[in-house]
Amino acid sequence: MIIVRRCFWLKTIAYYISDYGYGHATRSTAIIRELLKQNENVKIIICHSFALEFLQQSFKHEHRVAFREVVTDVGYVLKENSLEPDEKLLNNNVASYVSEFSIKLDQETQFMKEKNVSFVISDISPLGIAGAAALNIPSLGLSNFTWYTAYEGLIEEHLLSCLHAQYKQMTYHFSLACSNEPHSGIEENQSFGFYSRDIDDHEVQRIRKEIDPTGKSHIIYFGLGMKVDIGTLSELPMWKSPNCKFIVSSNVNVNHPNVYHIPKDAVETQHYVAAADLVLTKAGWGTISEAVCAGVPLLITNRSSMKEDRHTIDYLVRYQLCDLIEWKELESLVVTSSLIETCRRQHINRYKNEAIHIAEEINKKIKST
């Protein structure tokens, strides 16, 4: 008997993920999972450094995902004990990144040739886009912003121009909810809403039971992001809010009986957002999107100096998806039932998770190459 084995030629996709925080890594995980589910003929090389261990844990059972450690971008640089940007240090870091860009670009093109990369996706590092353009490989930018628009008003004009030149080389641009990007020179643009990793309701209920065994407390998710370190957080009166339990990241230095730290080895952290009655967070797209998809009310800290944040907040306010609080107001905030109810009225409906739809559209582009 002759056994005929079907052999698929796998297309290699390089997926570049921003090194700023965990938000880009978590939302990229959602898309990559859907791409693999829908298309058995692709393998993906994740290019990233900051949250690489988290990504490796997220795909530890997936043989079609490989990892390459590379610094993809600068992100933001914040002042000590603040959510506000340190403009001087940010300029220095971006200037260093730009000055080394040609060397980095050579390394990327060599990698793409060695691995026979046929398509590049970026959220939203300019590095992979520039490498793809140099080799005439199609690229797709997927984000609610680019570092070009995020840095406007924060860094020097000649540095902005360098970044803009790289982003203009995208073949396709998929903009997400809250985006306010110029699209000049890009072949195709499509717009999408919010998405997140899948939410398991049984896991959500398990977490709620663990944090609040009696079921009599409000659960508040407090999210500043894994790259924010505010030393004075432990002094906030908020932690003593009556009938409240708080969920915080493992890196948040607050020790209080009502504060629950997400375990360091937790991977599917979207369940902790979904387990909350209220999400109090900075305007990070990843956490906001998980809350919106899970139907959890939002209270957002306002950072007017960050252009990305302004665009996100403007969108959320326009569609009545959040309430706002100034950072100074946090110094005296006590969470009450009436506050949660006020925020809940702003956010009535759970939004459709668009991860499947976005992956379908990306796979169309991949299959056409």
CATH number at residue 334: 3.40.50.2000
Residues 36 and 178 in one domain: yes
| Two tokens, residue 320 | 């009545």
| Mean pLDDT, residues 339-358 taken together | 83
Question: Considering the chain, what percentage of its residues have pLDDT values greater than 70?
Answer: 93
Neighbours of 63 (CB within 10 A): 7
| CA-based torsion, 195, 72, 144, 322: positive or negative | positive
Instruction: Give me the residues paired with residue 46 across strands.
Output: 15, 67
Distance CA 30, CA 20 (A): 17
| Two tokens, residue 211 | 């944090």
Cα 237–239–242 angle (5° rounding)? 95
Residues 132 and 30 in one domain: yes
Provide the domain limits for residue 91.
11-193+354-367
Residue 120 lies inside a defined structural domain of this protein: yes
CA 247 to each of CA 108, 155, 210, 232, 286: distance values in angstroms, whole numbers, following the listed order: 39, 35, 11, 17, 16
Question: Terminus-to-terminus CA distance in the chain, angstroms?
Answer: 37
Neighbours of 290 (CB within 10 A): 31
Distance CA 204, CA 294 (A): 10
Distance CA 131, CA 360 (A): 24
Residue 185 lies inside a defined structural domain of this protein: yes
| Mean pLDDT, residues 315-322 taken together | 91
pLDDT for residue 4: 43
pLDDT for residue 217: 97
Q: Indicate whether 3 pLDDT > 70.
A: no
| Mean pLDDT, residues 82-109 taken together | 95
Residue 5 lies inside a defined structural domain of this protein: no
Q: Indicate whether 362 pLDDT > 70.
A: yes
Task: Give the least confident one: 90-94, 187-191, 236-240, 362-366.
Answer: 187-191
Distance CA 274, CA 295 (A): 8
Mean pLDDT of the chain: 91
Residue 3 lies inside a defined structural domain of this protein: no
Q: Indicate whether 230 pLDDT > 60.
A: no
Query: Element (H or E) spanning 177, and its range?
Result: none
pLDDT for residue 7: 46
Indicate the number of domains in the chain: 2
The band of 327, judged by pLDDT with boundaries at 50, 70 and 90, is: confident
pLDDT for residue 355: 98
Whole-model pTM: value is 0.93
| Mean pLDDT, residues 342-369 taken together | 87
Residue 1 lies inside a defined structural domain of this protein: no
pLDDT for residue 104: 97
Length of the chain counted residue by residue: 369
Task: Give the least confident one: 130-139, 250-259, 343-352.
Answer: 343-352
